[in-house]
């Protein structure tokens, strides 16, 4: 019998490590790696120990699992109060496979052509409404763009009172839900309507009202379009079952939440680097200008330097620091015999900062992605294996559309000099949401 033991890690009380993890996740991960080596363990208050991997061999072992022994749904439980128990993010095994089969088709690579024009259109409309000369947080603008894009993609609505209501209610949920302590099970108790969790739950209930209303309305009137809800309303699983109203709600809210805040944050980070590196910015703008005055979504999507810039931004500060799975049974992983119940996590951040794969890892250098592909265990901003992000192709595509349109329309100048990382629930954003000033680009091409 092999002895089970956990890799070394901080021995401080879990309240302290939880605080570190919530307040300064990336420095905390770096300090642990420095002190305990590339594989280490840390504890979070009220949760099983987390064993952190970043070596590509070990990450490959985790991503290789078929989803029966390493449970991502169990790891993601802290998101259940928002996404619901039957969200694809919350389920495991057969149920998880069934849900992915329903959700994945509209987000496959070949479907992207249909979304490009509306992504460009929404971006232009929002850029037109921006103040000129006064500072504003770029992150909020990116959230507005990505929220409108995802509502149009998922619900097929793009304007009018129902659309505005959905935007406002979703924003309110995110605003209240971005307070990091709400991720902890101990904070997830409704202690009256004025407590942080109570107010958050009330916002979720108000959000649900419009989502349920939309599901019922569409079921009633029978109108179908090319949106994701139309597909889900008519979908049947292998057993011929149609999704219940509750299941539909959970998947729709999952797509709304997972599909916009992440992309907005990735875009904001890309501009954080571009605006402090004028040389790289000029190279990228030249590459976009070369596409001509009115490039099609397909031309933009194929622009190699733009693609490399998006990848490099997601490498340097991945929007989500790690992905996790809970062990359903004792297993040997990364050379350690681990007991049932612990969580293994693949640190996206630490893997993306390995000098073996990325020389001078702290530098922003899109050229490292030009003509080079990294393996799925070296570069994985969208997680991996059977749980790889459903919206990966969509997010890559959208980031390129939005960036190209901004580059050809606007001049942006930074209005802040410190760029500390701040946690918003599970995502990490730049401090103050990246304050910038915008002006119209001189000699901007018509687009
Ligand atoms: C830059 C943008 C995005 C980033 C960085 C990102 C990242 C991630 C990560 C790290 C995971 C967890 C994967 C794992 O556990 O291995 C995930 C899952 C997921 N993402 Fe994304 N995501 C992005 C955009 C999107 C978009 C646009 C959508 C929807 C349109 C989406 C929908 C989902 C869903 C449904 C899951 C759950 C997959 C599962 O559990 O099987 N994401 N994403």
Question: How many Cβ atoms are within 10 Å of 89's Cβ, its own excluded?
Answer: 23
Tokens of 253: 């809210």
From the alpha carbon of 395, which atom of ligand 1 is closest? 27
CATH topology of domain 14-440: Cytochrome p450 (1.10.630)
What distance in Å separates the CA atoms of residue 6 and residue 78, rounded to the nearest whole number? 23
Quote helix, strand, coil % in the chain, to nearest 5.
55, 10, 35
> Could you state, in order of their start, the residue ranges of all structural domains in the chain?
14-440
Q: Among 307, 319, 325, 391, say which to mutate for ligand 1: greatest number of ligand atoms within 8 Å of CB.
A: 391
* Sign of the alpha-carbon torsion through 214, 215, 217, 221: positive
What distance in Å separates the CA atoms of residue 406 and residue 249, rounded to the nearest whole number? 33
From the alpha carbon of 318, which atom of ligand 1 is closest? 5
Task: Identify the pLDDT of residue 192.
Answer: 67
SS3 category, 416? coil
Give me the average pLDDT of each 10-residue run along the chain (447 residues).
78 88 90 96 90 98 97 92 91 93 88 91 96 94 95 90 89 76 70 75 87 91 88 83 90 91 95 97 97 94 98 95 95 95 97 97 98 97 97 96 97 90 77 93 59
Q: How far is the CA of 309 from the centre of ligand 1 (A)?
A: 20
What distance in Å separates the CA atoms of residue 295 and residue 324, rounded to the nearest whole number? 40
Per-residue exposure over 378-416, b if at least 16 CB sit within 10 Å of its own CB, e if not:
bbbbbbbbbbebbbebbbbbbbbbbbbbbbbbbebebee
Q: What are the C-alpha distances in Å from 246 to residues 77, 150, 253, 275, 324? A: 17, 20, 11, 44, 26
Tokens of 298: 């397909």
Q: Among 99, 106, 389, say which to mutate for ligand 1: greatest number of ligand atoms within 8 Å of CB.
A: 389
* Cβ–Cβ < 8 Å for 392, 338: no
Tokens of 194: 């004025």
What distance in Å separates the CA atoms of residue 55 and residue 38, rounded to the nearest whole number? 7
* Cβ–Cβ < 8 Å for 83, 254: yes
Which residue puts its alpha carbon closest to atom 37 of ligand 1?
89
Tokens of 363: 């530098």
From the alpha carbon of 153, which atom of ligand 1 is closest? 30
User: Quick one: which H or E segment has residue 25?
Assistant: helix 25-36
Q: How far is the CA of 440 from the centre of ligand 1 (A)?
A: 34
Which residue puts its alpha carbon closest to atom 2 of ligand 1?
263
Task: Write out residues with Cβ below 6 Å of ligand 1.
Answer: 72, 88-89, 100, 107, 254-255, 258-259, 262-263, 266, 319-320, 323, 381-384, 387-391, 394-395
What distance in Å separates the CA atoms of residue 260 and residue 258, rounded to the nearest whole number? 6
* Cβ–Cβ < 8 Å for 102, 237: yes
Beta-carbon contacts of residue 147 (< 8 Å; ≥ 6 apart): 167, 170, 171, 256, 260, 264
Task: Identify the pLDDT of residue 425.
Answer: 66
Q: Given the DSSP bridges, would you call strands 40-42 and 50-53 parallel, antiparallel or unpaired?
A: antiparallel
* Cβ–Cβ < 8 Å for 430, 279: no
Q: How far is the CA of 255 from the centre of ligand 1 (A)?
A: 9
Q: How far is the CA of 375 from the centre of ligand 1 (A)?
A: 18
What distance in Å separates the CA atoms of residue 80 and residue 116, rounded to the nearest whole number? 31
Q: Which residues pair with 401 in a beta bridge?
A: none
Which residue reads 């009018």 in tokens?
160
Predicted model pTM:
0.93
Q: How far is the CA of 426 from the centre of ligand 1 (A)?
A: 12
Task: Identify the pLDDT of residue 207.
Answer: 87
What distance in Å separates the CA atoms of residue 383 and residue 386, rounded to the nearest whole number? 9
375: left (phi over 0), alpha (psi -120 to 50) or beta: beta
Question: Helix 392-409 crosses helix 138-155 at what angle (to 10 degrees)?
Answer: 130
User: Quick one: which H or E segment has residue 96?
Assistant: helix 93-103
What distance in Å separates the CA atoms of residue 83 and residue 124, rounded to the nearest whole number? 31
Helix H, strand E, coil C: the string for 174-233 is: HHHHCCHHHHCHHHCCCCCCCCHHHHHHHHHHHHHHHHHHHHHHHHHHCCCCCCHHHHHH
Which residue puts its alpha carbon closest to atom 43 of ligand 1?
389
């Amino acid at each position: 019998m092999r002895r089970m033991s956990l890799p070394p890690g901080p021995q401080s009380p879990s309240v302290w490590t939880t605080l570190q993890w919530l307040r300064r996740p990336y420095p905390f991960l770096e300090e642990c790696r420095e002190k305990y080596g590339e594989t280490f363990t840390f504890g979070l208050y009220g949760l099983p120990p987390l064993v952190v991997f970043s070596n590509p061999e070990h990450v490959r072992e985790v991503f290789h699992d078929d989803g029966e022994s390493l449970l991502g749904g169990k790891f993601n439980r802290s998101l259940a109060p928002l996404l619901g128990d039957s969200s694809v993010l919350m389920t495991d095994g057969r149920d998880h496979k069934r849900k992915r089969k329903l959700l994945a088709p509209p987000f496959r690579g070949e479907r992207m052509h249909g979304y490009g024009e509306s992504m460009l259109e929404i971006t232009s409309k929002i850029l037109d409404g921006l103040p000129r000369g006064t500072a504003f947080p770029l992150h909020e603008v990116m959230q507005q763009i990505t929220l409108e894009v995802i509502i149009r993609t998922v619900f097929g609505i793009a304007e009018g009172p129902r659309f505005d209501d959905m935007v406002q209610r979703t924003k309110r949920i995110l605003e209240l839900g971005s307070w990091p302590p709400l991720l902890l099970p101990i904070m997830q108790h409704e202690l009256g309507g004025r407590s942080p969790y109570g107010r958050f739950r009330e916002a979720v209930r108000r959000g649900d009202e419009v989502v349920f209303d939309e599901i019922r309305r569409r079921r009633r009137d029978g109108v179908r379009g090319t949106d994701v809800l139309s597909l889900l309303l008519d979908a049947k699983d292998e057993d011929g079952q149609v999704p219940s109203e509750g299941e539909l709600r959970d998947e729709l809210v999952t797509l709304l939440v997972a599909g916009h805040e992440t992309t907005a944050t990735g875009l904001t980070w890309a501009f954080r680097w571009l605006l402090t590196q004028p040389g790289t910015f000029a190279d990228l703008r030249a590459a976009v200008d070369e596409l001509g005055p009115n490039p099609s979504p397909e031309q933009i999507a194929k622009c190699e330097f733009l693609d490399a810039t998006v990848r490099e931004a997601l490498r340097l500060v991945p929007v989500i620091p790690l992905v996790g799975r809970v062990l359903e049974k004792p297993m040997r992983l990364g050379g350690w015999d681990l007991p049932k119940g612990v969580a293994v996590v693949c640190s996206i951040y630490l893997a993306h900062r390995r000098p073996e794969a990325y020389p001078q890892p702290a530098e922003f250098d899109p050229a490292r992605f030009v003509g080079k592909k990294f393996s799925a265990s070296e570069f994985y901003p969208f997680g991996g294996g059977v749980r790889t992000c459903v919206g990966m192709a969509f997010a890559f595509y959208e980031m390129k559309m939005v960036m190209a349109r901004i580059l050809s329309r606007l001049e942006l100048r930074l209005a802040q000099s410190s760029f500390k990382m701040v946690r918003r629930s599970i995502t990490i954003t730049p401090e103050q949401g990246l304050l910038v000033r915008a002006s119209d680009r001189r000699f901007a091409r018509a687009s």
